[in-house]
Amino acid sequence: MSNKDPLPYAFFGLAAGIGIFFWGFGVRRRYKTIESTPTSRVRSVAVGLVEIHGRAEIENMPLRSPFSQLDCVYYSYNVEERRKSGKRHTWVTIAKFQSSQPYRVRDETGSILILPKDAECTFRVDNNYRMSFFSDANEESFKAGLERIGIPHSNLFGERPLRCSETYILPGDELFVLGTATPRSFSESSERNEDNLFIAKGSKGALFIMADRSEKELLSSLWWQMCAMIFLGPVLAVSCFWYILHRFHYL
Amino acid sequence: MGVALVALLVVFFIAAGLIGWAVGIYNNLVAVRNNVDKAWSNIDVILKQRHDELPKLIETCKGYMKHEQSLLENVTRARASYMSAPDVASKTAAENALNSSLRSVFAVAENYPDLKANQNFLDLQNRISAIEESIADRREFFNEATTIYNTKIQSFPDMFFAGMLQLQARPLLEIPKEQTEDVKISFS
C-alpha cells in the first residue's frame, strides 16, 4: 500500500460513519430534552432539570477577559498553533480555558446563581486573533493576552504561528440556561425561593447547556446537526464499506 | 456475497435507526409526563398553603354572609374534592372548581360592608393574594409542561406510543385574567 492508498481512510470512514450515526441519536436526545422542558420563571424554579432565560449579572467581582480586556461574567478561549505533521500542517490546541466563576441570571421575577463549571457552552465566538505578517492593534492585544495567560508568542525562530478564539458573556447579555437546580446549603433559608437554589451540572449524564441564543435558534441548530449525523453517517459508512469490499474483490 | 454484506449493513442502519427512534419517542413521552408531575408537585405545595387558609376564611365569612351559605358550601366541597382527588388530572379539575367558587365568594363579599371592614377577613384576603402571586408563576410553568405533554401525546407518531402507554390528555389550570384580579382585590 502506498502513502496515497485510500484503504486506511475507508476503514476510518466506516468506523466514523457508524460513530456519527449513533452520535446523532445523542444529539436527538438533547434536542428532545430542550424541546420538552418548559421554561421556568426564576422566582418559581423547582429542584431538578430547569430551563431559564434571562440576562447575565455579576455575582461578586467581574472577570476580565484575557485578550479583549473586558469586564465579563464568563469567558473562554482556545489557543492553537500551526504545526507540521509529515507533509501537512495542522492546527493543534495548546491552551484551552473556560472560566468557572459563578454568576447570576436575572429575569423579570428575580435572579438565580449559576455555577458554569462543566457547562456545555454554545456561544458565538466574539473575537478571533491570529499572528499575521503585518502587526496591527488586533495582534498587539493577542500578544498581550498570550503573555497574560503565560504563552510565549515567539521562539528562537521568530513569531509562533498562533491563532485564538475568545468568547465572553458581558453583564446584561441574554442567556439561555438548561441545568439542574440544586438546593444551596444555608443555615437559614431565604424567603425567596430562588435564593435557596443554584443551577449547575447535575448527576452524570445530565444536560447543562448555556447559550447566547434563543431556544428556537438552539433547537434549529441541533435539528440540522441531528439530521446530518443520522443520515450522512450511514451514507459515509456504506460508501466506505462498499469501497473496502471492492478493494478485496468481494464486489 | 459483497452486495449481501452491503445490504446487511444497510439493514443494520435501518433497524438501529428504527429502534433508536422508538426508544427516543418512548423516553421523551416518559420525560414530558414526569415534567407535568414535577410541575404539579411544585404548585401543589403552594396550593396547599392557600387551602389551609380557606376554613378560616369560611369561618369568618359565615357570620356575615348568612344568605350565601351555598356559596361557602361550594368552596368547602371543592376543597374536599381537591383533598380526595387521586391523581393530578382530577386535582387540576378540583382546583379549577375551587377557584371558581372562591371567586364568587370574593365577588359577593363586595355586598357586605361589615365583612369588608373585618380585620380577620382583610388579613386572610391579603394572605391569599400573596400566595396567589406565587401560584401565578407556577401555574404558568405547569400549564406549559401540560401543553407540551398534551401536544406530544396527540401528535404523529408519538400518539401510537402514547396509546400503548395509555397516556391521557391532562387539563390545564385555567384561570381567566379577571378571576385572578378578583382574588387580588384589596378591601383596605
Task: Write out pLDDT tens, residues A89-115.
Answer: 899 999 999 999 999 999 988 999 999
Give A29-51 as a DSSP string. Answer: HHHHHHHHSPBPPGGG--SEEEE
Q: Compute the distance between CA of residue B180 and CA of residue A20 in angstroms, rounded to an integer.
A: 51
Which residue among B1, B24, B141 sits closest to A29, beta carbon to beta carbon?
B24
Q: Compute the distance between CA of residue B22 and CA of residue B162 in angstroms, rounded to an integer.
A: 12
How close A247 comes to chain B (CA, Å)? 11
Identify the closest residue of chain A to B143 by CA–CA distance. A38
Q: Compute the distance between CA of residue B126 and CA of residue B44 in angstroms, rounded to an integer.
A: 20
Structural domain of B69? 22-183
Residue B1 lies in a domain: no
| Mean of pLDDT values over A140-160 | 84
Which residue among B2, B27, B140 sits closest to A251, beta carbon to beta carbon?
B2
Identify the closest residue of chain A to B41 by CA–CA distance. A46
**Best mutation target, B10, B11, B14, B28, to test chain A (most A CBs within 10 A):** B28
Residue B141 lies in a domain: yes
Residue B171 lies in a domain: yes
Residue B133 lies in a domain: yes
Q: Which of A15-29, A144-158, A183-197, B42-56 has the highest mean pLDDT?
A: A15-29
B180 or A205, greater pLDDT: A205
SS (H, E, C) chain B: CHHHHHHHHHHHHHHHHHHHHHHHHHHHHHHHHHHHHHHHHHHHHHHHHHHHHHHHHHHHHHCCCHHHHHHHHHHHHHHHHHHHCCCHHHHHHHHHHHHHHHHHHHHHHCCCHHHHHCHHHHHHHHHHHHHHHHHHHHHHHHHHHHHHHHHHHHCCCHHHHHHHCCCCCCCCCCCCHHHHHHHCCCCC
- The sign of the CA dihedral B128, B131, B133, B137 is negative
| Mean of pLDDT values over A198-227 | 92
Where do the structural domains in chain A lie, given as residue ranges? Answer: 1-36+214-251, 57-210
Q: Is A69 on the interface with B (CB under 8 A)?
A: no
Number of domains making up chain B: 1
A250 neighbourhood in chain B, CB within 8 Å:
1-2, 5
A139 or B182, greater pLDDT: A139
pLDDT at residue B151, rounded to an integer: 93
Identify the closest residue of chain B to A242 by CA–CA distance. B6
CB contact under 8 A, A37 and B35: yes
Which residue among A28, A32, A241 sits closest to B6, beta carbon to beta carbon?
A241
> What ipTM describes this predicted complex?
0.74
Residue-wise pLDDT tens digits, A214-236:
999 999 999 999 999 999 999 99
Q: What are phi and psi of A138, to 5 degrees?
A: -60, -40
Q: Which three cell numbers stand for residue A30?
A: 438533547
A41 neighbourhood in chain B, CB within 8 Å:
137, 140-141
Over 80: is that where the pLDDT of A81 sits? Answer: yes
CATH number, position B70: 1.20.1440.20
Which residue among A35, A41, A251 sits closest to B140, beta carbon to beta carbon?
A41
Which residue among B5, B24, B141 sits closest to A245, beta carbon to beta carbon?
B5
pLDDT at residue B79, rounded to an integer: 87
**Best mutation target, B8, B40, B42, B148, to test chain A (most A CBs within 10 A):** B42
Residue B29 lies in a domain: yes
CB contact under 8 A, A230 and B35: no
Residue B16 lies in a domain: no
Identify the closest residue of chain A to B40 by CA–CA distance. A46
B2 neighbourhood in chain A, CB within 8 Å:
245-246, 250-251
Which residues, in sequence order, are CB contacts of B32 under 8 Å at separation 6+?
A36, B145, B148, B149, B152
